């Protein structure tokens, strides 16, 4: 049984620790989220991380919150400062933080208070390889993900890289929470549907923004 089936209209069972919350945000709320993100990016400009071997990522990132996730030739880690400007990240906007906490509560996690929000900014050809998020101090805390902009084909696997993956579309306004026994599931973005979803000046040519709220420290 694939997640596409599990998340279909008649789905009544989803894997423990996966909460896919469809159309949580209205177009008005999505517009306000774009505005809040633009304000964050004005203080913490998007930058292009690279892998340990120097290969650049295919997309830009930024962060808000006390801690921000970065990657460079020293590896992956959380940092209190923007790697290029040296300035502390701006706080997570209260409305976004509250929405992430509410999403965690709907997933059954009552006490999630994020201290980090990674902002992924994808161009129309954006993708993200299969990965686990395991740089956070306490892996019992969930990750809450908001999608904005173009639709993404999301791949969700198991706890081993070789496990089979299921694919489903994440659209603007959808929320995905990975927690509990699914916190370390491998996942990635296969591709975008660039012509889809709400547009914004942050995303010329129809890209996508993904926000992942974490408890990093
Ligand atoms: C993305 N999302 O949607 C990438 N990580 O662009 C993630 O890497 C992710 O959606 C952890 C939990 C949920 C996610
Ligand atoms: Fe991830």
Cβ(101)–Cβ(179) under 8 Å? Answer: no
Ligand 1 pocket test: pick from 187, 188, 191, 213 the residue with the most ligand atoms within 8 Å of its Cβ: 187
CB atoms within 10 A of CB 118: 23
The DSSP line for 75-114 is EEEEESB-TTT-PBPPPPPHHHHHHHHHHHHHTT------
d(CA 67, CA 73): 19
Quick one: tokens of 126?
């954006």
Does the C-beta of 155 come closer than 6 Å to ligand 1? no
Does the CB atom of residue 182 touch ligand 1 within 6 A? no
Domain covering 3-214 in this structure, CATH number: 2.60.120.590
pLDDT by residue (tens digit) across 161-213? 999 999 999 999 999 999 999 999 999 999 999 899 998 999 888 899 999 99
Contacts for 77 with CB less than 8 Å, ≥ 6 apart: 69, 70, 71, 135
Give the number of whichever ligand sits closest to the CA of residue 174: 1
Q: pLDDT tens, 54-103? A: 999 999 999 999 999 999 999 999 999 999 999 999 999 999 999 999 99
What pTM did the predictor assign?
A: 0.95
Residue nearest to atom 8 of ligand 1 (CA): 188
List the chain domain ranges: 3-214
The tokens describing 140, both together, are 């019992």
């Amino acid at each position: 049984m694939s997640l596409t089936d599990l998340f279909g209209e008649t789905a009544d069972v989803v894997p423990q620790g996966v909460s896919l919350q469809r159309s949580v945000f209205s177009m008005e709320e999505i517009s306000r989220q774009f505005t809040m993100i633009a304000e964050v990016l004005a203080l913490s400009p998007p930058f292009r991380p690279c892998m340990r071997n120097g290969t650049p990522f295919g997309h830009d990132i930024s962060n808000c919150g006390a801690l921000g996730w970065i990657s460079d030739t020293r590896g992956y880690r959380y940092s209190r400062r923007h790697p290029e400007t040296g300035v502390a990240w701006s706080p997570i906007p209260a409305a976004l933080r509250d929405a992430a906490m509410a999403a965690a509560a709907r997933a059954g996690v009552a006490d999630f208070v994020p201290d980090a929000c990674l902002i992924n900014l994808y161009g129309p050809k954006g993708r993200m390889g299969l990965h686990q998020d395991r740089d956070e101090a306490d892996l019992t805390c969930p990750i809450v993900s908001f999608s904005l902009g173009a639709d993404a084909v999301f791949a969700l696997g198991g706890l081993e890289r070789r496990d089979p993956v299921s694919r489903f579309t994440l659209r603007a306004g959808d929320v995905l929470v990975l927690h509990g026994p699914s916190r370390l599931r491998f996942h990635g973005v296969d591709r975008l549907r660039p012509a889809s979803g709400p547009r914004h000046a942050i995303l010329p040519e129809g890209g996508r923004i993904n926000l992942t709220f974490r408890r990093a420290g």
